[in-house]
Structures are given as C-alpha cells and as structure tokens.
Amino acid sequence: MTTAPAPTRPRASFDAGEPERDERRRKRRGHLLRLPFYLLALTMIAPFYWMLISVFKTPTELNRHPPSFVPGSPTLNNFYDPDWSATQINPGHLQGVFQRFQVDFGFGRFMFNSLIITIAITVGSLLIASLAAYVIAKHEIKGRRVIFIMIIASMMIPWQTTLIPNYVIMRNLGWLDSYAGYIVPALAKAFVLFFLVQFLQSIPNELIQAARVDGAGEWRIWWQIVLPLLRPALAAMSIFIVLAEWNNFLWPLIIVQSDEMANVPVALARLSSYFGGAQHYGTIMAAGFLASLPTVIFFLVFQRYFTRGIVLSGVKG
Amino acid sequence: MGTHTAQPQRARLRRYATSYAMLLPFLALFLAFLVWPLANSLFLSFTDFDGITPARLTGLENFGNLLFEDDRFRHALGNTFIYVLASVVIGTLLSLGLALAFSGSSWPHRIMRTIFFLPSVTSSIALMLMWKWIFFPSDVGLANTVVGWLGGSTVQWLATPSLTIPILVLMSVWGGMGYGMVLYVAGLNTIPGEYYEAARIDGATAWQQFRSITLPLLRPVTTYVVVTGLIGAFQIFEAVYIVFRGTNSVGGVLDSGLMIVPYLYDQGFTHFQLGYASAIAWVLFAIIFVISMINLRLGRAMKEL
C-alpha cells in the first residue's frame, strides 16, 4: 500500500476532473451535478411510499382530503377484515384482499398459481434449453447451424405475432384456463438457448471429451458435467425468466377465464376493474404489495446476480 | 473432434440419434408454439377469420384497410411512435446521467442504484395500479394533492386526452431508467482509468473527457439500451390496458392512449376479428424487424470504422 493520500481513481463520472483544480473543488462540483439525481431519487421513493401507506389506511382515511402521509390508525384490514360480513353492511368495513374473490384461499390461490407456473416454466425451459444448447455447441451433427440460425432469427420476432394462432391452438387443445396453457407454450425460449450456446462455446471441450473417453453416455455428460458448468449462465437466465413469468400478463389475460386459474397480474387487473372508488385502493395496493413482495425479496437477496445477469446478457445478446 | 472418425459406424449413428433426441424437446416446442403459429398468423392476416367460421381468404384487404382506411389504426400508430420516441430518448438520457452520478462502489451510490432499479423488480401491474391511484381524479389522490399545494385546481389526469401520452411516457421512464442505468454503470466500469489520467495530463476539461472518451466508449451500451428500449416500447400494452382502458374503449378517452398492441387486443379479443388482428401483428413485426435490421447494419458499419 502506498502511503500518499491517493487521489480518487479517475473515472468516467461526475468526479472526472480538470487539471490544475484541487480535489475539493472537484468534489464540490461532483455533488452539485449529482443534486438533480438525488431529487430524482425522491420522485422514485414518493410513489412507493404512497403505495405503502395506502396499504395500512382505513377506507375512511383513503377518502380524506387532504390525504394523510402517515396512516392515522394503521390497520391490516386491507388484507383481511374480520368485521366485514357478506350479509350485513358494516360502515367503514370492506373486504380485504383475501375476501374479494370467491375462490378458496382468496388471493393466496393466485399467488399459488403464479408460483407453480413460474417454477415450472423456469425449471422446464432451462432443462430443455440446456439439452439443446449442449448439442448445438458441442455435437457435430448435420443441421445444427441451420437450427441455430433459425433460433437466432426468431429472437427478432415480437411474440405478439404468434398470440392469435397460439390462442386458437390452446382452444383446440382444450388448454384454455389450465396450467398446461400457461406452461407448455412458454417452454421453448430462444433467448435462453442462444445465451447458453454462447456460454458453452466459451468452455473448452476437454472435460466433455475426458468423460466420453471414460465411457459416460451423452445424457450423463449433460447432467453431470454440462449442467454444473452452466450454473452461472443458468442463474442469470433464471432471474429473467422468473421476473418475466411472475409478471406475465397479456397471455394469461387471453387464456384465463375463471377466477380459479388467474395468476397474480390478472387477479390484480380484475380487482381494479371491479372496484374503482378511492376507498378500495387500500385493498388494491395491498394486493399490489403482495404481488411485488416475492420478486423484491428475490432481488434483495440475489442483488449481485441480478446486475451481473443483466450485464452478461446485455454484453452477449 | 477427432474421436468421431475412429468410432465404428454404428456407434456414431447411435450418437447421432442421441444428439437429435436431446434436441427434440426444445425443437418440437419451438416448432409447435413459435414457427407454426408464425406461419399460421401470416396466413390468417390474409383472411377474415373470426374465430368461429372457417377462415376465408380476402387477399390484401386487411392490410389495405389498416394502412389506408382505418383511422383508429393510424391513430394508434401515430400515438405509438410519439410515445416510443419520447420514452426512449428521455429514458436513455436519464439512464446515462444516473450511471454517471452513481457508478461508484460506496454505499450511498449502491443505495441510489437500488432505489432506481426497484421498479424493474416490482410487479408491473402493481405499479400501474399505483399510478392509477396517484392520478386519482379527485383531490384525495397524490398528484392532485401536489397540484393543490402549488395552488392549482383538481385535474382529471386520466380523462384528459392531451395528458395521456405524457403520463405513459412518465410511467415508462420512471420504471425503466434504472435498468438502463445498470447497463451504463457496467459500461463505465470497463473504461480504463488510465485514459482519463492521460487526458488530464494533456489538459482536457471534464467535458472534453466526457465527449472524447466516455461517450465513444459507451457507444455499444448506448446502442443496446436504445435498441432494446425501442423494441420494448413498441410493444406497450399493460400501461394502456390497466391505467387508461375505459368501459367502451381500450385506448382511453378519445383513444388518446391507443397503441399497436392494445389495438391488436381490442380487434382480436373484444371484437374477435382474428384475421384483422393478425394483420396488425404483422405490422408490428415489420416495425421491429426494421429496427433489428438497422441495428445489425449499424453494428457492422461501426465494426468497419
């Protein structure tokens, strides 16, 4: 370690400096240039704060003008109101999120649906894409170039182009309103395959060759060697898939008819189209809070992988 | 892979069979739910398919109607272009600014980055509902409260046609700039500090350093942020559907927020004009294809430079 108070590493930011200027002035200018962005951060926090406090307000308080910025009498009734009854009107009491839908477990049912669908699609699509990627990257078979180019080309297609025929297919198969309708059409993800192939191409063949010499079959090589090697790439991709599937809206909107089979986004949309008055926004925001909680926690725990995954896919994609 | 040739014919055949078997699950699903639907949608775009009676070929009628007759579609197209342009330009500039401001590894910078990235991991429909609540038409809403503090009177935010696209742009920029910021921060961290050192010794001002080192070296990131931004913005649906959809129109008051995909949804799934909706999908396809091609061209041209 050098002892001299090293000047901050010159970098591409507001700290970039001019010569002949002392450190102090440069720092001051950096702060000055950053100021608008700190103010911008306030406009990021304010909507979230507004959402969060609404979750704990009573219907009366939601209708108050001017609005309160700290809930006067914080309540959890927006999740479940024990004093609400379907048969008699109880002023100041509305159904909580878990009482709004006539399905077992209320909103929990949609969380469960979304969870099942997200896990199935994430695991399933990674498995089949890693199999195909292994073949395309490491097997010398006829047609692999054509297949790969076709898959790359398909990444330029907006998926909405296939929306209507896929809807018709689901209807003909009787898969509307079913888990199969959610999961099966979402399994073959071109960008995942593309990313995995690129990742595998950067891995030397020696390990795989050695396993072959030892007499390991291709399936075993895939399971015991390729999948562990792919782990960082699979982690990056799973983040994208989990976020996309948890928030998927347009496709479920089209294939889901019943309340039972709605995922969280569709349930949220229905909630807000059934109830519009200010007093209902406590419940609606509570539902939004529940919908966001899993992915936000997922993010806060795996924050490092998120940015790395985004950057990795951006650099390669 | 030299080992192949040494293997007897039959073992090689078996390896081939295994390879194709491993490829099969992906390929089968890819063909069934992407390639076939794609071809099918192209076919449907030349028909009057309504989802019930068998499709009847109508030639170029759908496209002719879309491009020359259908005022609502032209309106949707115009809205989409304005929205895309505004949201991508503003979003990219702010992403870059944020990255320049908070690219460090100190904890204030890390917290700032987390705050700006938060919308990217929050349920998008929940965010839309949050905006709907913020822009509540009476004075109990947040936006009207702020307007009240500034001495203004209550605004019907979501029912004022001239405010629709600005609000959509606001929601898009607010929700998306943190994502671009993360990409830009990664780009900034790949620029060697020596470049700035050298520039400083040569007497370059901060602005000159930014212009001649930072910006050019960030060009690949900018291209990526802009292209993915364009493609994403053209596909806008949820914001319109959740925040602006009225009882009789998906596009909000006077269709002021009508865009390509919401119109596709409207034609396909409220009016069941599946043939017509397929034609709309192919217009979207064409637009995104052109952007991808320009991107490829640009990329190649830049490599040759």
Q: Where are the domains of chain A?
A: 107-316
pLDDT for position B305: 56
CA nearest to A158, candidates B141, B110, B130, B38? B38
Identify the structural domains of chain B with CATH numbers, from first to last. Answer: 3-44 (no CATH), 73-304 (1.10.3720.10)
Predicted confidence band of residue B143 (pLDDT cuts 50, 70, 90): very high
Q: Are B159 and B137 in contact (CB under 8 A)?
A: yes
Instruction: Say whether B231 and A158 touch across the interface (CB within 8 A).
Output: yes
Question: How far is B46 from A77, CA to CA, in rounded Å?
Answer: 53
Supply the pLDDT for residue B34. 96
Q: State the smallest CA–CA distance between residue B59 and chain A in angstroms.
A: 19
Contact, A235 vs A305, CB < 8 A?
yes
How far is the CA of B112 from the CAs of A41, A235, A275, B107, B275, in angstroms? 7, 25, 35, 8, 48
Cis ω before B262 (30° cut-off from 0): no
d(CA A249, CA B243): 14
Structure tokens at B260: 């390509």
Q: Cα–Cα distances in Å, from B55 out to B47, B216, B276?
A: 6, 53, 11
Q: Which of B32, B116, B188 sits opposite A12 (nearest CB)?
A: B188
Nearest Cα neighbor of B17 from A124, A214, A139, A213 is A139
Tokens of A263: 């995922």
Q: Cα(B104)–Cα(A72) distance, rounded to whole angstroms?
A: 39
Size of interface A-B (CB pairs under 8 A): 304
CA B279/CA B55 separation, integer angstroms: 14
Chain B residues touching A9 at Cβ < 8 A: 193
Q: Could you give the CA distance from residue A246 to residue A115 in angstroms, rounded to a whole number?
A: 8
pLDDT at B162 over 70: yes
What is the mean predicted confidence (pLDDT) over B251-273?
93
Residues 144-173 of B with CB under 8 A from A: 145, 148
∠ Cα B140 B141 B147 (to 5°): 100
Return the pLDDT at B279: 96
Q: What is the pLDDT of residue A21?
A: 55
Torsion angle in degrees (nearest 10) through CA of A248, A250, A254, A258: 50
Interchain pair A288, B174: CB under 8 A: no
> Looking at residue A276, what is its pLDDT?
78
Contacts of B210 in chain A (CB under 8 A): 12, 16
Q: Does the beta-carbon distance from A18 to B118 stay under 8 Å? A: no
Contact B4, A140 (CB under 8 A): yes
Q: What is the DSSP string of A165-206?
A: HHHHHHHHHT-TTSHHHHHGGGS--HHHHHHHHHHHHTS-SH
pLDDT average, residue stretch B119-129: 95
- Kind plus residue range of the DSSP H or E element containing B252: none
The residue behind tokens 């043939």 is B275
- Mean pLDDT confidence for B210-215: 92
Indicate which of A162, A208, A237, A254 best probes the interface with B, i.e. most B CBs within 10 Å of its own CB.
A162
State the pLDDT confidence band at B2, using cuts at 50, 70 and 90: very low
At residue B31, the pLDDT reads 96
Contacts of A229 (CB under 8 A, 6+ apart): A200, A203, A207
Please determine, for residue B81, whether its predicted confidence score (pLDDT) is greater than 90. yes
Mutate to test the interface with A, among B125, B183, B238 (most CBs of A within 10 A): B125
Report how far residue B173's alpha carbon sits from residue B248's, in angstroms, rounded to the nearest whole number.
28
Residue B85 near residue B168, CB atoms below 8 Å: no
Q: What is the pLDDT of residue A3?
A: 40
Q: What is the CATH number of domain A107-316?
A: 1.10.3720.10
What's the rounded mean pLDDT across residues B33-44? 96
- What per-residue confidence (pLDDT) applies to A6? 40
Q: Average pLDDT, whole number, for chain B?
A: 91
Give the pair of three-digit tokens for residue A186: 């979402």
C-beta atoms of A314 and B221 within 8 A: yes
What is the phi/psi pair of residue B47, to 5°? -125, 175
Nearest chain B Cα distance for residue A49, angstroms: 10
Rg of chain A's alpha carbons, rounded to an integer?
A: 26
Interface of B with A in 45-104 (CB under 8 A): 51, 94, 97-98, 100-104
pLDDT of residue A26: 75
In this model, does residue B58 exceed pLDDT 90? yes
pLDDT band at B7 (very low <50, low <70, confident <90, very high): low
H/E run at residue A39: helix A23-55
- Which residues of chain A are modeled with pLDDT < 50? 1-8, 20, 316-317
Q: What is the value of ipTM here, to two decimals? A: 0.90
- Chain A contacts of B30, Cβ < 8 Å? 151, 154, 188, 190
- B124 with A11: Cβ contact below 8 A: no
- Spatial separation of the C-alpha atoms in residues B90 and B68, rounded to whole Å: 32
Contacts of B115 in chain A (CB under 8 A): 41, 44-45
**Three-state SS for B78?**
helix
Quote the longest CA-to-CA distance of chain B.
87
Q: Are A287 and A134 in contact (CB under 8 A)?
A: no
Q: Which amino acid is at B170?
A: L
Q: Is B201 touching A (CB cutoff 8 A)?
A: yes
Nearest alpha-carbon partner for B165 in B227, B84, B92: B84
Taking the C-alpha atoms of residue B116 and residue B185, their distance in angstroms, rounded to an integer, is 13
Q: Cα–Cα distance between A90 and A83 in angstroms, integer?
A: 7
Q: Indicate whether B45 pLDDT > 80.
A: yes
Q: Counting every residue, how long is chain B?
A: 305
Cα separation of A60 and A77, whole Å?
Answer: 12
Token digits for B85? 């342009």
Question: What is Dmax (Cα atoms) for chain A?
Answer: 79
Q: Identify the residue whose tokens are 């913005």.
A: B233
Nearest partner of A267 among A111, A115, A116, judged by Cα: A111
Cβ <8 Å between A212 and B210: no
Residues on chain B touching A14 (C-beta within 8 angstroms): 100-101
